Structure formats: structure tokens, C-alpha cells
Chain A
Amino acid sequence: MQDLETISREVNRDLRAYKATLMVCTGTGCISAGAFNVRDALNRILKEKSLESDYLVIGTGCNGFCAVGPIVVVQPEGIFYQKVKAKGDVEEIVEKHLQKGSVVERLLYRDPATGQRFQTMADIGFFSKQRPIALRNKGIIDPENIEHYIGRGGYRAIRGILESGSPDEVIESVIKSGIRGRGGGGFPAGIKWRSAREAALQRREIPYVVCNADEGDPGAFMDRSIIEADPHSVIEGMMIGAFSVGANEGFVYVRKEYPLAMARLGKAIRQARERGLLGKNIFETEFSFDIHIHRGAGAFVCGESTALMASMSGKAGEPRAKYVHNVEYGYRDKPTVLNNVETWANIPVIIEKGSDWFASIGTGNVRENPWGGSSGTKVFSLVGAINNTGLVEVPMGVTLREIIYEIGGGIPGGRRFKAVQTGGPSGGCIPVEKLDMPVDFDSLTEAGSMMGSGGMIVMDDRTCMVDVAKYFTGFLMDESCGKCTPCREGLPALYETLDRICNGQGKEGDIEFLEEVSETVSATSLCQLGGTAGNPILSTIRYFRDEYHAHIRDKRCPAGHCKALITYSINHEKCTGCTLCALKCPSGAITGEKKQTHRIDPLKCIKCGICFEVCNFDAVEVK
């Protein structure tokens, strides 16, 4: 095998030989916005102008700032172009920026609040507050080229361990770093590894390592993006884990809905095998290890570790009781370490930079007790009513306010922040009063939500919290495997109650019923799907009980969302008779002459809200 330093030197020398490199984000978000066209156009124009030996176009993984894609970053200066179109914009970048050396002002990011334009990523609030560790290589390397990863220092951690480390030292170091499982449970990874190693030694079995890439939360794409942007970091993390516990086979369980992630990971594994980084006697040592990809069919419950392993074994993806843990009897009844993508991606950095360094980031003191805080960073996918939709990585302990306002750029349309839903469908809704709460495992749990895998859905004042609870309860009801009684029978009953309330048929006692049943479902379910299924209801009742009362007692939806409880009307004083609402109304419910006040026929109105959206004079009102 070629020496890593040689590969590194050569790839960096080759890259430096270009006058500039153009990093085109080719994560799933930007691709759907046309990033491949942008990349191809850049290549075409450079070729036409015979500039291809001066400038290199690289398709990177997800840059993170999905709201403004497609993104092109010109390195080494780091000039950040947003919403780049293949036609026109690309020519301008080449001609103006590359050839004439002047930045294309109109493609720069513009702060929606101040209107100020920023040239480089470092200047933009979205990026400047972040601290990339798991996403250290996002937007910087070509994920489909192993040399880029090696050029950034990749595979040095595993080599160092194989040359002079022992499994126990590595495990000790991972424990001391305090890293807790990024998949949702927050179990200290090192402790999990130690248990698996002990079980394997005791039973003389060869354990397995598994990477959970079955990211199923609506609105979450952290794990997908990490694999798309930097698959080798996951592979290297798994190698380190495998060495520590004594495994020689690993699996990545990735859902079929992630074709790009699967393709890039598959390519990365092939490249690693070709370089001898996977396979027999890695770095000429006794250590042999290989990774297989297992495609999941996309059931949410298969993100639960025991269901995931059942699914990997070809059985129905149903969980089992975890009184005997996977670290003892997991996949194929062998001791099995399962961590999620983000956890694995963190491991090489922890080894490289040391556990003290990692533990110094975040909250609490984890050096003595891994449960004593939350160390390192966490990746969140920031979606919903937020300006800067995208992927963010922040140190544990930053406040929700920092994430939502400083990184996320606040709520669009000048609307009011209402709540943020963290932890996926079975997380909870956190209200405005808690905006200054530090974001870490324990604080989120205390607030009735959870870290989960890092989904963060921001809601503004037009979001009805009863409807939110209904949506997530409905999602969980559909995804429940039905194996245990409380989850199977309880969720439909909860959903029906919420549906009734939203339809204006709520009655006294409903809230108590919801609370009572949610608590039983959470307390008695077999797995954590049911175990956390009460959160959406309990947290919305806890923080937005008034809104429930409004629905039940006053038959009113304060957010103006629940169709059965609202009526649309036109304010005669504001209406200019522009006819736009009448034109757009799909049910013909709006009548009125030009320049005359319009009116809505409540019998024909289907409450779709289009008139409200399109009116330029705020003349449509919801009650």
C-alpha cells in the first residue's frame, strides 16, 4: 500500500497547481435545485475557454446552507456564491471572477435583515457560529475521491492506533471524550464499546460493528449529509470501533430512499478496499476488517437498534426487549456495537485530537462521568419556518436562540417564533420561554423533548400546536409496528382524540385522557418508538394548554389552521377589488366586481387558505 503521506502530498500538490478550485455543492438539496447542471456548465465553459488546466471544478457533499443552493465556493479565497444558475450565472463567475479577478456581487449572500452582502463563508452568520467536527470536510473535499480525504489527514487515526495503540486504550479514550450516541439515545459510546468487548472476550465470539444510517425522522438529514459529504470519516470511525471491540466485519444499514448516500458510501468502500484500507491485514497488521451495506426499506421503527438488527437478519423489522443488550446478543446473536453515522464520523477526530480536546467542547464535566454532560458538537437539520434552512453543527450547550436567530437567521416574513420541535417525531415542542435553554442531551429531556438524532423544526405563530401533535402522533401511529399493545392500540386512540379536537368536537376530559394515555404509552411500550410517542402530546399540552382549551371550549383555533374551526372573510376596508383572490380560489367561493369589495361564500369555501396567501393587502382574515 502507498504511504498516506505520499498520497497526501501528491493530492495537495495537484490541487495547489490550480489557480483556483470551484467547489460546487452536490448534496441532495442542491442537486434538486440544479447543482449538477451548474457543475457541468462550469466544466463546459472552462473547456471552451481552455481554462481547464487552471481551474478545477469539484462536486462536494452538502455544504449545509441548503436554503441558498445551488452553491459555488471559489477557493482558496472562499468566495461564496449562492443560488447559482447554470445559465448566465456560471459564465459570469468564469468571466468576471476567474478571468478578471472581480467578485460577482449579485451572487453573494445577502443578509435578509440588514441587506448587507458577504463575500466569504467565514463572514456569514450561518457559518461563523458553527463548529464543524463531524462535518469537518463538508464542502471542502470531493466525497467520491479517497485521496481528498487522505489529503485532509484521513486514515491517520486508525493507522496510529494500529501502529501503537491497544483496544483498551482506544476505548478508554472514547469514554473519556464523553461522546454520547448521536442517534438519539445519548448512551456513552465508549461504555457501549467496552461492554461489547467484554462480552466478546467472555463468550469468545467475534463481535460486529454496525452503523445506523436509517434516518427516518421527517425533516432530518444529518446522517444522509454526512455520508454524502464525507463517507470515509464514517468508514474510518467504524474501523476504529472494530479494532477496539475485536470485530472484523461491519455493516451500514442505510435506507433505500438515500440513493446518493448509498452510491457514495459504496464507492468509498470500494476505494478503501482498493487501497488496502479495508480487507485483510490493514497497514500490514493483524487487523482485518470489511464493511457491507445493508439497504433498509424505510420503516421508521427500523432505526431502533433491535428492529434494525432483525431487519438485517431478514426478519420483519420489529424490536425486541432490550433486557439483554445488543452489546451481548445483537446481530446474529453476537455482541454488536451499533452507533449512528454522526457518532462514527466523530471518532477519528477524537482519536486524532485527543479526548481532552473533545471533552472541553460542550457542557458539563464528562471526564469523570460520561453521563455528566454533553461533550463535542451536534449536527442539526434546521427546517420549517426559518430563513436559513440547512445543516448546522454547533457545540453542545449553545442556546436555541443562537441556533434559530444567529445561525438560522430568524423567522421569515417577520412572523413570530412559536415553538421548535426537536428530536424527531417523538420529540417535543419547546416554546419561546425556553429559547435561552442550552441545547444538550439532558436539558432537552428535562424540557420534555429530546436530542433525538438532531431534527429541528421551527414553527411560527401560524402553526397550530394541536395540529402539530396530531401530525406527529399520526406519523408514529402509521410507523408503529404493532407488536406491543400500548403503541398499537394507544396511538390510534390518541390520534382520533386529537383529530376530534381539531374538528371542533373536543370535549371536557379529552386533555386528561390524552395525558393519561400518553403517559401509559410512553411508560409501557416495548421500544423507544412507543416509549417516546407521548412526547408530542405531552409537551404541547405542557406548554400550549391554552391552545387545547381554545379548541375544546371555544371551538377556536388560535393559529388559524384547523379548517373546521376557522372562517375566512374579507375585510371590506382593506380590499381593493384587485380580483387576485377570486382568480386563485379553487372552489369559486369568492365573488366580486373589479375594484369592488369581494366576499367569500362560506358554503363554497374549502378553507385552503390560498386567498390569504395571495392577498397583497392583508384584506383576507382568518378567524
Chain B
Amino acid sequence: MIMADKISIVINGKPREIPEGTFLLDAVRKEGITVPTLCHHKDLMPSGTCRLCICEIEVRGKKKLVTACNYPVREPLEVWTDSETVTRHRRILAEMYLGRWPNVRAVREIAGLCGVSESRFKGRYTEEDPQSCILCGHCVRACREFALERILDFAGRGIHRHIAMPFNEVDPHCIGCTSCAYVCPTGAIQIVDDLNQPVDPQMIRDHGMKVNAEMANLDPVQCRMREVGTANIVDVMNQYDLLPVKNYKYGSHPEVWKIDSKMLKAKYFTQNMPDGCWKGCSMACAKTIDDFELRTGPYKGQKVCVDGPEYETAAGGSNMGCFDADFIAEFNFYCDTYGIDTISAATTIAFVMECFENGVIDTGVTGGLELNFGSGDEVLELLHQMARGEGFGVDVGQGIRWLKDKWENEYGADRKFMDDIGMETKGLEVSEYVTKESLAQQCGYGMAIKGPQHDEAWLIFMDMVNNELPTYEHKAEALHYFPLWRTWFGLYGLCKLCWNDVVPADNKMTSEPQKVPDHVNNYFKFVEGMTGIKLDEQKMLDQSARVYNLQRVMSRMLGYGTRRDDYMPYRALGPVTAEEYESRQDRYDKQLREIVGVDPEGRSTSEKIKILRDYREDQYDKTVSVVYRRRGWDDNGVPTVERLKELGIDLPELVAIVEKNRG
């Protein structure tokens, strides 16, 4: 984060240093000084309309009155928060409020603070209702900033100003997020219906609104989910050498600007609104391209709406070497339309491309398609073939594991090479992250029950970007905790994006920032507010572990679920080829020297690859063993009977499976 320059200011005679751009009100309140406000809300952009927070400042020798809430301090100044002028005007303002809304509690409190108990402003506009709207605009701003909507706004001019929905009708676009009611200081906006009869709707709202406030205030400086969705990490992954390029050979590419979030935002994304998968969710992570004209396939020439691209799809493009956002959008559209997973398709085709470039297969096998990296037109043709059940597409549609078998059996292809670069485990293609430098993520992928996808253990960010898993123990603990925590979302059917994409401003100060404890607590409160059942970390882990272990036993029942199935192709662990090693030679040589303890000087690349490989495979192997123990499984990755007992799922048929397969 860029630290702002400090500015010297004097607050009521006391010199202080504050970061440039701080709003004066924040600076003043930090000193414990009370400044009355009615339109200010800590989670909303200041609007400076109630004018109660006026303070007297002197800038460059000139004195003037400013509203502290929205005055950004950009140069040295002196401020007086309660000079004679300030208090005189504040009293009149408070009197105006008291005259208009004499019975509203918030108004009475402010008037009291300003020393006003009687008002000369009582008259024909006085509203006696204690729950009157006082035009603070919290609701209007919450609608905009929390929910990205414009359902509520002011109508009428001057004294006739009031809150309204368009045309004074109930707007059908209102998603019922209740943000407006939540921020209303007077009760003028009331919620008349709580769907599903939750036990404690207030508890749910209290924590939901916290999420909304964070989305409004922190997302713009953290993830920009509302701006560009998950595509924001294309840029980050490239920066950290984690973006898969050409079948995971490399982690970055100079042409990534053609497909990164800046490009997508500037030239592609058109829709930017809450998608409505959760009522009131303000993350709005889904992005859409409208009026996209297709170049190929059955809808060629038509303008369509593309649902995406998300990070995984964009990164699938780079993995196939296609740095072309037009291609990615079209690939995205047709995968969606055909019902094909973009990750499996992209990873499989990237594998096919590397095999093609290395002569494992040729155009005789591909039916004439020149499947070099970056050949977008051929990829689209292949995709159409897959959908039509024609030609080479029929084979590719079976996935990497199937292709490896076929090519070995029919063309005598090099099985070892294909195993090293064919990015699949348990028959599922790997999702779009380069894991070579993250042991935690290698195991996260390899040990995931349903195969190597990021849903179960996405540790790469905390491991590589945030450096939150520095030690071996941290990694093992993370591989116990996070798969269970992520499984828990599935148990309750809750979206996990508002857990760790945007995090509280003070998350780093907590003892376990990688867990985002404050947000975990939000979910516990959602459950408690809905069902009345209190949750804590242990209860959550036990709930998940029952399901997780059951899944592992079922895997075993289906012929998977042992140590052998939890290995990753070496491409996921380290450099397979000389070109890969040499492209990051400094890094690998350094690791050999400093971590492995081998002097790389004078050794050939293939020799160095071998040494590094032995080391890394050993590391992986050791981690797997430790994680098994932590999970209560035996060394072959099968849950122990004791663990099943502990979890209360030692049903005879499960015990039988476990016993039978003990390796």
C-alpha cells in the first residue's frame, strides 16, 4: 500500500501530523473531540449536507468555515472546532432541525449537544412524527454505495425535498437488501417483511451490513471485485509469476496486458451490477460483455451477451498462449453455451498444444489442426468439434488422462513426458494457477478430494502473495483447516467470496489473518441469526470433517482416495524441461545453492532439474504424510477408524470400506 504524505495541522491549538487526504472530521474525532453530525455515517461517503460539522480553518492565512466531514486535508492548516462563530452557526442549524423535526431522537440529541432546547423555526413545515425522515441521505448513499443501485433518491426542491423511488412507485428493481433501513437514523424506513422467518433478523443484518460497508469502502482499494470481478487477479498473478502460460510452463508473459483487468474493463465489460444470486449481496463480482459479435461457430455474426470472463477463463487463455481478449470472450461464450467447463477445456487443450509442439502428436492426429500455442482460431474449431462430436474434438473432449492412455497405446507416445506435463490429478484437469513455488498450493490441489481445483484449498494467495504461511507447520495446518472451512460453505450453501476476497481493514492485526477471523464470525452469525444455533470454530470444523471424511471414504469406495491418487504431475511441482528451468535459472540455481545445498556451478541443466526434482518431490511427499496425520488418516491417506469414531460416523459399512482398503 502506498503511504500518503503527512501533513502538519493544528487542531484546537494542538499540532498534529495526519496523512494527506484525510477528511478533517476523521482527524478531529481521532483527537477525541466531539463534532455534531446528522448526515455523516462512518461507512458512507461524506455528503456535507447537514452542515453541523462546520469548523473554522485557516489556510494560507485565510480563515473560512468548512464542513469537516468532506474537507480533505491537502495542505497545512489550523482548525478550531468550536470557535464562537462555529458554535453560533451550529446553534442556529440545530434550531432549524429542532423546529422541523422536534420529536426525532437523533435531532434532539444533536440539539442538546449544541445547547439548543427551543426552536424559533417551528411552523408550517414542522413534522411531529418521532420517526420522520430528516433528509440525512444515508439511505440514498447506502443504496448507491452498498448495493450499487439507484432505487432511492431525493425528489422535490427546497423545502419540498423528500425521499422517493422513481415516479413515486415501488421500484421493482429494489432487491430488498435492507441497507437503507439499516442506516436510517430515525426509523423512517422500516422493514415490513423478513423472508424465511429468521430467528434473529437483526443479527443477520448487523453482520451483512458490515460486509456491505467493507465492499463499499475497501473493495476499491483491495480487490476491485465490483469493478472487474475476479479478473482483477490476472494482473496480480502475472506480477507474482503465478499466471499459467503455455501449459503452466511459465507464470507471466509480456503480452498479458492484452487480457488483463485493465483491458477487460476498458474495452469489454459493460454490465456492472449486483447479479442477484444472493439477495442484497453487494459484491457484484459477475461481469458481462454485451453486444459481443461472434466470429465462429453456429452463432457466427450474431451479437451475444458473454457471461464473464472470470479469472479462470482469462487465465485459460494465457495457458493456451492466446493473449487475445476477443478470443477469450468467444471461448467463454461457446464453453458456456455448449456446457463445457472452461478450465478443463483450456487445460486439456494447453496439454494438447504442448504435445503438438513437441511432436508427440501431429496434424495426422489432430485432423489437420495446427494446434500451436496461441492458435486461437484452431482452439475455437476444436471446441466446435467437441460439441458436434466430430473429428479430433471427440478425443480431446475425453480429457487429459484419457488422451495420455490413447496416445501411449496407439502412437507409442512418451508416457513419462505426458505424465509430467499432463496437468491432471484423479482425472480432473488442474485449475489455472502455477503452483511450482507454492508447496501449500501443490498439496491443496493434489490432496483435494474431488481433484485439483481451487474450490477446496486455494492457498496460493496467502502462501505466495501475502506470505502468510511461512513455515512448514503453517502449511500443514492450513491444509487441515482450509479444506474443512471451504467444505463448510458447501454444507450451508453459502457463497465464499465475501469471506476472504475483501478483508477488514485491520485484518492484518489479527492473530490469524489468513483465516480472516472477523469474516468467519460473520458466517457463524448468519447461521445463528437464521437458525438460532450458535457456532464456533471447533463446531464448524467438526461439522465439515464429518462430510469431508465421508467424501474421502466414498472416494475410496470408488477406487480413488489413497496416497497414489494424491500426487501431482511434476509440472505442478517444478520445471520439467530445460527451457522451463533456464527461463527462471537464477531462481532455481539460488534454491539449489541455499535450500538444497548443492552448488549449481558447472552442472548441466538436466542434472540440475534432476536434483531439484528429487528435492521437491521429497518435500511434497513429506508434506502429504504430515497432512494425513493432521487429518487423522493413515499414511496411505485413508481415514482411521478412530477418526471416524471421533466424528461419530463409524457406521459399519464405512468402517468396512476403511478396513478393507487399508494399505
Contact = CB atoms under 8 A, between A and B. Distances in A.
A442 to B, nearest CB: 16
A601 interface: no
Nearest to B65: A523
Contact of B158 (A321, A491, A493, A496): A491
Majority SS at the chain B contact face:
mixed
A496 B157 contact: no
Interface stretch (A284-292, A417-425, A473-481): A473-481
B65 A480 contact: no
Interface in A457-486: 477-486
A483 to B, nearest CB: 5
Contacts of B99: 489, 493
A191 interface: no
Interface string B134-152: 0100000000000000000
A324 B71 CA distance: 9
Interface residues of A, number: 33
B159 interface: yes
Majority SS at the chain A contact face:
helix
A323 B66 contact: yes
A489 B161 contact: no
Interface stretch (B89-97, B535-543, B645-653): B89-97
Interface in B192-239: none
Contacts of A517: 92
Nearest to B67: A321
A364 to B, nearest CB: 20
Contacts of B72: 323-324
Contact of B96 (A299, A479, A485, A523): A485
A316 B154 CA distance: 9
Interface in B96-154: 96-97, 99-100, 120-121, 123-125, 135, 153-154
B605 interface: no
B93 A520 contact: yes
Contacts of A481: 157-158, 161
Nearest to B156: A482
A519 B561 CA distance: 80
Nearest to B94: A485
A482 B93 contact: no
B446 interface: no
* Among B96, B97, B154, B161: residue with most chain A CB under 10 A: B96
Given A321-B67, A492-B159, A486 B96 contact: yes
B29 interface: no
Contact of A321 (B48, B52, B161): B48
A318 B161 CA distance: 12
A479 B157 CA distance: 7
A182 B11 CA distance: 38
B54 interface: yes
Contacts of A483: 49, 154, 161
Nearest to A320: B48
Interface in A497-541: 513, 516-517, 519-520, 523-526
A321 B64 CA distance: 14
A482 B123 CA distance: 17
A378 interface: no
A526 B158 contact: no
A490 interface: yes
Contacts of A299: 157
B154 A493 contact: no
B26 to A, nearest CB: 14
Interface string B536-554: 0000000000000000000
Nearest to A489: B96
17 contacts: A324-B72, A478-B158, A480-B157, A482-B159, A484-B48, A484-B49, A485-B49, A485-B96, A488-B135, A489-B159, A491-B159, A493-B123, A513-B120, A519-B89, A520-B92, A523-B85, A526-B51
Given A478-B157, A489-B100, A524-B65, 9 more contacts: A478-B158, A481-B157, A481-B158, A482-B160, A485-B49, A489-B159, A496-B124, A519-B89, A523-B89
Interface of B: 48-52, 54, 65-67, 70-72, 85, 88-89, 92-93, 96-97, 99-100, 120-121, 123-125, 135, 153-154, 156-161
Interface of A: 299, 316, 318, 321, 323-324, 477-493, 496, 513, 516-517, 519-520, 523-526
